[in-house]
Structure 1
Amino acid sequence: MKHFLELIGFLALVQGVVGLAGVFTDWHWGLVQRVGFLDGHELYASLALVVLAIALFAAAESRKPG
């Protein structure tokens, strides 16, 4: 379970960082830019993904290995 949480946290972190980069550089790559109902709210969604990743990493650290 710990490895699963770390994997999901890593994916959320990557998508959040790519989303933040897309907001500031006009890249259209990543999940946040592709979801239609997030138009105009990409910055908030990307920040939420980064916060989610931090929470998932914290949850993974509190788990036993395996």
Structure 2
Amino acid sequence: MQALLECLGFVALVQGVLGLLHEFTGWDAGLVQRIGFLDGHEVYASVALIGMAIALFAAAESRKAD
């Protein structure tokens, strides 16, 4: 379970960073800008993905203590 949480956290972190890179540099990478209903809200979605990644890493770390 811990490995799954870490893997999901890594994917969320990478997609969040790539979404911010796309918004601020125009570099065409990541999935956030390709999702239609997020038009105009890509920065917020990218920041939310980074926050979710931090939460997933924290959950994975708390599973280590068990």
- Aligned equivalents of 1:56, 1:36: Cα separation in 2: 25
After TM superposition, the score normalised by the length of structure 2 is 0.93
Q: Deviations over 1:5-59 (max 9, x none)?
A: 0000000000000000111011232110110000100000000000000000000
- CA RMSD, Structure 1 to Structure 2 (Å): 1.2
1:64 Cα shift?
A: 3.4
State the 4+ residue runs in structure 1 displaced beyond 6 angstroms.
none
Structure 1 counterpart of 2:45: 45
Deviates more, 1:19-28 or 1:49-58: 19-28
- Alignment identity in percent? 69
Gaps of 5+ in 2: none
After TM superposition, the score normalised by the length of structure 1 is 0.93
Q: Give 1:26-65 correspondences, 5 Å limit.
A: 26-64=26-64
- Aligned equivalents of 1:64, 1:44: Cα separation in 2: 31
Q: How many residues align?
A: 65
